[in-house]
Homo-oligomer: A and B are copies of this chain.
Amino acid sequence: MNVGILTIKCPDKPGIVALISNWVTTQEGNIIQLNQYSSDANNGTFFTRLKINFLNNTAPFKQRQHDFMPISKQLNAIWNLHDATKKQNIGILVSKYDHCLFELLYRWSSHELNINIPFIASNHKNGEKLAKQFSIPFYYLPITNKQNQEKQLLELAKNSDLLVLARYMQILSPEFIKQYKKNIINIHHSFLPSFVGANPYNQAYERGVKMIGATAHYVTEKLDEGPIITQKIEPVSHEDHIPELKRKGKHLEKLVLLNALHAEIDHRIISFQNKTIVFT
């Protein structure tokens, strides 16, 4: 099999789909999934995702990417052509709470998450035992000097395709985010934009909300303000004090993280103006 995923963001105009699908034909490809979205009927931005089965197995992806360049120029597009059969390298950052880490490792080990996990890094030693159980390299990077710690992290992450903050309770510096360049997914344990920052379950308890939530979002320089990928909620009552909120919230956190990660590794997400288009 030789399956590729083509994602495109470009100014909208008539004829884009014809242009792209004709190119697919010249590549002996069969479109097996196609989504598109236009931000506005007039002068909007056009987004598309195509899953293509290339019948001619022999051509390498680099060649196909090269072949697409004239089309992309015609469209003035930001685009990507991913090899869908290639597993992505996803580094995991974690602190004390390990339920999200656990879920990722369990889903990975049961072949549901088709990824490589090159490393787990943490500012605490808690996750080490778990990492060993699953035979994944664990790096203990305590924060004595934040700048140094992030330098080590960056070195560690340099070959990864994505970072997942699986309840990593540290704020990554703008420098780190700028230098890492690739996507970073965080789970915030509230229904954003409610309860940004520290201790959202405590904040939720204080406000007396009747539902708690969790949010997966891309990390940007502004804390908890990056584009939202997915959100889930669970009803609670006055009987639920902070420990119950935390217990019930764990499910949500795991669920939003998994959903976001599946969308990400399938290249279903395109960012636009601090929001996400998530093709389903």
List A residues at the B interface (Cβ < 8 Å).
13-18, 21-22, 24-25, 28-38, 41, 53, 55, 99, 102, 106, 110, 112, 133, 191-195, 207-211, 213, 227-233, 235, 237-239, 247, 251, 254-255, 258, 274-278, 280
Contacts and interface: CB of A to CB of B under 8 A. Distances in A.
A209 to B, nearest CB: 6
Chain A binding surface SS class:
mixed
Q: Assembly of this chain: how many copies?
A: 4
B112 A102 contact: no
Given A110-B99, A194-B191, A209 B228 contact: yes
A17 B37 contact: no
A277 B238 contact: yes
Contacts of A22: 18, 21-22
10 contacts: A14-B31, A17-B24, A18-B25, A21-B22, A32-B38, A34-B36, A192-B209, A208-B274, A211-B213, A238-B277
B14 A41 contact: no
A134 to B, nearest CB: 10
Contact of A21 (B17, B195, B255): B17
Contacts of A227: 208
Contacts of A29: 14
A211 B233 contact: yes
Max count, chain B CB within 10 A of own CB: residue among A21, A29, A239: A21
Nearest to A204: B193
